[in-house]
Amino acid sequence: MGDLVKALGLIALAVTLYYGLRTDAPYQDKPWRSYGLNKSTGKLEWSSFDEFKSLDECKFSAEKALNSGYYQQPSGCLYRGYQNPYVQWLVNKVVGDGMFRCIAQRKARDKYEDFVYAPVLRDFPSDHSETWDCVLSG
């Protein structure tokens, strides 16, 4: 009986992980975006329209944005690579806790390659828009 319970438990865990970690879109080649606190508005915003392949590359961009005079700390990077909201939430909690409002889900996308999930900066004015809704709070 004990072996049957263990086997059923492992099957339940495997099914949960499979469905819990599935993706709804392809992995993004450039999953990182930099943000900074705008000096004039006092709000977080994306400090670059560029996306970056690595966290180090993104951090470099965030530092350059600070040197531009438009941004101040806090600054850093948020992740939108693996297209699963739970994975994005976890990664962004580690690299940018308190800097994002939520992980949002797009309502529609133009191309299959487009991202479905992405972090929303904490100073964004709402939990939804015409094109997306928050699915996991930061």
Per-residue pLDDT tens digits for 71-113 = 999 999 999 988 889 989 999 999 999 999 999 999 998 888 8
Task: Specify the DSSP element, H or E, that contains 92.
Answer: helix 85-96
**Every domain of the chain and the residues it spans:** 25-137
All residues at 6 or more sequence positions from 68 whose CB lies less than 8 Å from its CB, including other chains? none
- pLDDT on residue 14: 53
The residue type of 40 is: S
Q: Is the pLDDT of residue 129 over 90?
A: no
Count, residues in the chain: 138
For residue 113, what pLDDT is reported?
84
- Residue 45: band (very low, low, confident or very high) from pLDDT cuts 50, 70, 90: very high
CB 103 within 8 A of CB 135: yes
- Amino acid identity of 55? L
Query: Which amino acid is located at 93 in the chain?
Result: K
More confident residue, 66 or 6: 66
For residue 114, what pLDDT is reported? 85
At residue 31, the pLDDT reads 93
- Cα distances (angstroms) measured from residue 92 to each of 29, 57, 81: 17, 16, 11
Q: How close are the terminal C-alpha atoms of the chain, in Å? A: 42
